[in-house]
Amino acid sequence: MISFLPLFCHPNPKKVLIVGGGDGGVAREVVKHPLVEEVHQIEIDERVVELSKQHLPSMACGFKNEKLKLTIGDGFEYMKNHKNEFDVIITDSSDPIGPAVSLFNESYYKLMKHALKEDGIVCSQGGSFWLDLSYIKKTMLGCKEHFPKVSYAITSVPSYPCGHIGFVIGSLNKNQKFVNSVNKIDNFDIEALNLKYYTPEVHDAAFALPRWVQQSLMSVLN
Protein backbone atom coordinates (compact mmCIF):
# COMPACT_ATOMS: atom_id res chain seq x y z
CA MET A 1 0.00 0.00 0.00
CA ILE A 2 2.84 2.40 0.73
CA SER A 3 3.98 1.75 -2.85
CA PHE A 4 0.77 1.77 -4.85
CA LEU A 5 -1.10 4.61 -3.13
CA PRO A 6 1.35 7.24 -4.45
CA LEU A 7 2.15 5.41 -7.71
CA PHE A 8 -1.47 5.26 -8.80
CA CYS A 9 -2.12 8.85 -7.69
CA HIS A 10 0.66 10.15 -9.94
CA PRO A 11 -0.13 10.46 -13.67
CA ASN A 12 3.33 9.32 -14.82
CA PRO A 13 5.61 7.98 -12.05
CA LYS A 14 8.70 7.31 -14.15
CA LYS A 15 11.39 7.90 -11.53
CA VAL A 16 10.91 6.79 -7.93
CA LEU A 17 13.04 7.17 -4.81
CA ILE A 18 12.72 4.81 -1.85
CA VAL A 19 14.19 5.97 1.45
CA GLY A 20 14.74 3.06 3.82
CA GLY A 21 12.94 -0.15 3.00
CA GLY A 22 16.00 -2.30 3.61
CA ASP A 23 14.01 -5.54 3.48
CA GLY A 24 13.35 -4.98 -0.23
CA GLY A 25 9.57 -5.27 -0.01
CA VAL A 26 8.77 -1.77 -1.27
CA ALA A 27 11.23 -2.13 -4.13
CA ARG A 28 9.62 -5.45 -5.06
CA GLU A 29 6.25 -3.73 -5.44
CA VAL A 30 7.35 -0.43 -7.01
CA VAL A 31 9.11 -2.12 -9.92
CA LYS A 32 5.83 -3.86 -10.82
CA HIS A 33 4.24 -0.59 -11.95
CA PRO A 34 4.46 -0.51 -15.77
CA LEU A 35 5.11 3.26 -15.94
CA VAL A 36 8.04 3.13 -13.52
CA GLU A 37 11.34 3.23 -15.40
CA GLU A 38 13.88 3.92 -12.65
CA VAL A 39 13.87 3.10 -8.94
CA HIS A 40 16.58 4.52 -6.70
CA GLN A 41 16.80 3.30 -3.12
CA ILE A 42 18.87 4.81 -0.32
CA GLU A 43 19.29 2.61 2.78
CA ILE A 44 21.55 3.60 5.65
CA ASP A 45 22.18 0.11 7.06
CA GLU A 46 23.82 -2.37 4.70
CA ARG A 47 23.45 -5.13 7.29
CA VAL A 48 19.65 -4.90 7.02
CA VAL A 49 19.89 -5.56 3.29
CA GLU A 50 22.28 -8.48 3.80
CA LEU A 51 20.11 -10.14 6.45
CA SER A 52 16.95 -9.60 4.39
CA LYS A 53 18.53 -11.34 1.42
CA GLN A 54 19.43 -14.21 3.71
CA HIS A 55 16.25 -14.56 5.76
CA LEU A 56 13.51 -12.75 3.78
CA PRO A 57 14.12 -13.83 0.17
CA SER A 58 10.49 -13.33 -0.86
CA MET A 59 10.85 -9.62 -0.04
CA ALA A 60 14.51 -9.08 -0.87
CA CYS A 61 13.89 -10.28 -4.42
CA GLY A 62 13.08 -6.62 -5.11
CA PHE A 63 16.80 -5.88 -5.09
CA LYS A 64 17.34 -8.08 -8.15
CA ASN A 65 15.21 -6.06 -10.55
CA GLU A 66 17.09 -4.21 -13.29
CA LYS A 67 15.06 -1.04 -12.68
CA LEU A 68 16.54 -0.70 -9.18
CA LYS A 69 19.74 1.05 -8.13
CA LEU A 70 20.57 0.60 -4.43
CA THR A 71 22.79 3.08 -2.59
CA ILE A 72 23.98 2.53 0.97
CA GLY A 73 24.08 5.88 2.72
CA ASP A 74 22.18 8.70 4.40
CA GLY A 75 18.87 9.67 2.82
CA PHE A 76 19.19 13.31 3.90
CA GLU A 77 22.55 13.76 2.20
CA TYR A 78 21.38 11.85 -0.86
CA MET A 79 18.38 14.12 -1.44
CA LYS A 80 20.47 17.25 -0.90
CA ASN A 81 22.48 16.15 -3.93
CA HIS A 82 19.49 15.09 -6.08
CA LYS A 83 17.15 18.02 -6.60
CA ASN A 84 14.11 18.07 -8.90
CA GLU A 85 14.72 14.46 -9.94
CA PHE A 86 11.90 12.24 -8.72
CA ASP A 87 8.21 11.85 -9.45
CA VAL A 88 7.48 9.89 -6.27
CA ILE A 89 9.39 9.53 -2.99
CA ILE A 90 8.42 6.70 -0.64
CA THR A 91 9.80 6.61 2.90
CA ASP A 92 9.61 3.15 4.46
CA SER A 93 10.87 3.77 7.98
CA SER A 94 10.46 2.48 11.49
CA ASP A 95 8.33 4.37 14.03
CA PRO A 96 9.12 7.99 15.05
CA ILE A 97 11.38 7.08 17.94
CA GLY A 98 15.14 6.73 18.05
CA PRO A 99 17.07 7.08 14.77
CA ALA A 100 13.96 7.39 12.58
CA VAL A 101 12.46 10.42 14.37
CA SER A 102 14.01 12.89 11.90
CA LEU A 103 12.04 11.29 9.06
CA PHE A 104 8.81 12.63 10.57
CA ASN A 105 9.91 16.26 10.95
CA GLU A 106 8.90 19.27 8.86
CA SER A 107 12.50 19.67 7.69
CA TYR A 108 12.38 16.21 6.09
CA TYR A 109 9.31 17.13 4.04
CA LYS A 110 11.10 20.28 2.91
CA LEU A 111 14.02 18.16 1.74
CA MET A 112 11.73 15.79 -0.15
CA LYS A 113 9.93 18.71 -1.79
CA HIS A 114 13.17 19.95 -3.34
CA ALA A 115 14.08 16.45 -4.55
CA LEU A 116 10.76 16.13 -6.40
CA LYS A 117 9.79 17.21 -9.89
CA GLU A 118 6.75 19.37 -10.47
CA ASP A 119 3.53 17.70 -9.20
CA GLY A 120 5.60 15.14 -7.27
CA ILE A 121 4.09 12.96 -4.56
CA VAL A 122 5.48 11.67 -1.25
CA CYS A 123 4.21 8.81 0.87
CA SER A 124 5.64 7.95 4.29
CA GLN A 125 4.96 5.49 7.06
CA GLY A 126 2.68 7.49 9.32
CA GLY A 127 1.93 5.32 12.32
CA SER A 128 -1.41 4.19 13.73
CA PHE A 129 -4.11 6.55 15.00
CA TRP A 130 -4.83 3.99 17.73
CA LEU A 131 -1.36 4.61 19.14
CA ASP A 132 -0.66 8.33 18.75
CA LEU A 133 -3.08 10.48 16.75
CA SER A 134 -1.52 13.70 18.01
CA TYR A 135 1.84 12.75 16.53
CA ILE A 136 0.20 11.90 13.21
CA LYS A 137 -1.36 15.36 13.17
CA LYS A 138 2.01 16.94 13.95
CA THR A 139 3.62 15.02 11.10
CA MET A 140 0.86 16.04 8.70
CA LEU A 141 1.21 19.70 9.69
CA GLY A 142 4.92 19.44 8.87
CA CYS A 143 4.04 17.97 5.50
CA LYS A 144 1.48 20.70 4.85
CA GLU A 145 4.17 23.35 5.30
CA HIS A 146 5.53 22.26 1.91
CA PHE A 147 2.79 20.30 0.13
CA PRO A 148 -0.52 21.97 -0.81
CA LYS A 149 -2.43 18.67 -0.73
CA VAL A 150 -2.06 16.37 2.26
CA SER A 151 -3.96 13.30 3.40
CA TYR A 152 -3.74 10.26 5.64
CA ALA A 153 -4.48 6.72 4.51
CA ILE A 154 -4.78 3.48 6.45
CA THR A 155 -4.38 -0.23 5.89
CA SER A 156 -4.30 -3.50 7.82
CA VAL A 157 -0.95 -5.08 8.73
CA PRO A 158 -1.42 -8.01 11.13
CA SER A 159 2.24 -7.99 12.24
CA TYR A 160 2.17 -4.30 13.24
CA PRO A 161 1.00 -3.13 16.70
CA CYS A 162 -2.82 -2.84 16.66
CA GLY A 163 -2.85 -4.70 13.32
CA HIS A 164 -3.13 -1.32 11.65
CA ILE A 165 -0.84 1.28 10.10
CA GLY A 166 -1.21 4.60 8.30
CA PHE A 167 0.56 6.69 5.68
CA VAL A 168 1.05 10.43 5.34
CA ILE A 169 0.76 11.34 1.68
CA GLY A 170 1.41 14.74 0.13
CA SER A 171 1.32 16.18 -3.37
CA LEU A 172 2.83 19.30 -4.93
CA ASN A 173 -0.19 19.40 -7.25
CA LYS A 174 -2.75 21.64 -5.54
CA ASN A 175 -5.52 19.96 -7.56
CA GLN A 176 -4.49 16.44 -6.59
CA LYS A 177 -7.30 13.95 -5.89
CA PHE A 178 -6.11 11.05 -3.77
CA VAL A 179 -9.41 9.17 -4.01
CA ASN A 180 -10.31 7.83 -7.47
CA SER A 181 -6.71 7.28 -8.48
CA VAL A 182 -5.40 8.98 -11.61
CA ASN A 183 -3.95 5.82 -13.14
CA LYS A 184 -6.73 3.30 -12.72
CA ILE A 185 -5.35 -0.17 -12.26
CA ASP A 186 -7.91 -1.34 -14.82
CA ASN A 187 -5.81 0.42 -17.46
CA PHE A 188 -3.08 -2.18 -16.99
CA ASP A 189 -2.80 -5.97 -17.10
CA ILE A 190 -3.89 -6.74 -13.53
CA GLU A 191 -2.68 -10.33 -13.66
CA ALA A 192 0.74 -9.24 -14.89
CA LEU A 193 1.09 -6.90 -11.91
CA ASN A 194 0.82 -9.89 -9.55
CA LEU A 195 -1.01 -8.02 -6.79
CA LYS A 196 -2.51 -9.77 -3.77
CA TYR A 197 -3.99 -6.85 -1.84
CA TYR A 198 -4.28 -3.61 -3.81
CA THR A 199 -7.38 -2.87 -5.88
CA PRO A 200 -9.06 0.44 -6.90
CA GLU A 201 -11.66 -0.16 -4.18
CA VAL A 202 -8.98 -0.77 -1.54
CA HIS A 203 -7.20 2.39 -2.71
CA ASP A 204 -10.26 4.59 -2.18
CA ALA A 205 -11.21 2.88 1.09
CA ALA A 206 -7.76 3.62 2.51
CA PHE A 207 -8.73 7.29 2.77
CA ALA A 208 -12.00 6.60 4.62
CA LEU A 209 -11.31 7.42 8.28
CA PRO A 210 -13.34 6.89 11.44
CA ARG A 211 -15.34 9.98 12.35
CA TRP A 212 -13.34 10.85 15.45
CA VAL A 213 -10.06 10.61 13.49
CA GLN A 214 -11.45 12.70 10.65
CA GLN A 215 -12.62 15.36 13.10
CA SER A 216 -9.22 15.47 14.79
CA LEU A 217 -7.40 15.83 11.46
CA MET A 218 -9.97 18.13 9.87
CA SER A 219 -7.68 21.17 9.88
CA VAL A 220 -4.95 19.21 8.06
CA LEU A 221 -6.86 17.04 5.61
CA ASN A 222 -7.66 18.50 2.19
Residues annotated as catalytic (active site), given as ranges: 92
Residue 33's identity, in one-letter code, is H
C-alpha to C-alpha distance for 134 and 10, rounded to whole angstroms: 28
Helix (H) or strand (E) holding 103: none
Longest dimension (CA), the chain: 45
Buried b (16+ CB within 10 A) or exposed e, 168-207: bbbbbbeebebeebbbebeeeeeeeeeeeebeeebbeebb
Strand-pair category, 164-171 with 116-127: antiparallel
